[in-house]
Amino acid sequence: METALAAERIGSAGPVGQATDAEIIRASRQSPDRFGALYDRYATVLYGYACLRVGRGPAEDVVADTFLAAFAQRHGYDLARASARPWLFGILTNKIAERGRAEKIHYRDARAWQNPVVEGIADRVADQVSAQAQRGRLAAALNRLNAADRHVLLLVAWGQLSYDEVAQALGIPPGTVASRLNRARRKVRAVLETTIEERTHDDG
What's the mean pLDDT in 33-52? 95
More confident residue, 156 or 139: 156
Q: What is the CATH number of the domain that holds 99?
A: 1.10.1740.10
Write out the residue range of the structural domain in which residue 127 sits.
122-204
Same domain, 83 and 147: no
Determine the Cα–Cα distance for residues 67 and 109; give it in Å rounded to an integer: 28
Determine the Cα–Cα distance for residues 196 and 156; give it in Å rounded to an integer: 25
Q: Is pLDDT at 36 greater than 70 in this prediction?
A: yes
Same domain, 48 and 105: yes
44-61: pLDDT as tens digits: 999 999 998 988 889 999
Query: How many domains are contained in the chain?
Result: 2
Same domain, 108 and 179: no
Which pLDDT score is estimated for 25? 98
Name the band, by pLDDT with cuts 50, 70 and 90, for residue 6: very low
More confident residue, 34 or 121: 34
Cβ atoms within 10 Å, residue 35: 20
Same domain, 135 and 95: no
Same domain, 12 and 28: yes
Same domain, 149 and 94: no
Determine the Cα–Cα distance for residues 162 and 173; give it in Å rounded to an integer: 13
Same domain, 101 and 155: no
- Helices (H), ranges, the chain: 21-28, 36-54, 56-73, 85-97, 100-108, 135-144, 147-157, 163-170, 174-203
91-130: pLDDT as tens digits: 999 999 998 777 877 777 655 455 444 444 444 444 433 4
- Helices (H), ranges, 74-173: 85-97, 100-108, 135-144, 147-157, 163-170
Q: Please state, rounded to an integer, the average pLDDT across all residues of the chain.
A: 80
Determine the Cα–Cα distance for residues 195 and 165; give it in Å rounded to an integer: 33
Same domain, 115 and 126: no
Same domain, 111 and 183: no
Determine the Cα–Cα distance for residues 146 and 140; give it in Å rounded to an integer: 12
Determine the Cα–Cα distance for residues 115 and 90; give it in Å rounded to an integer: 21
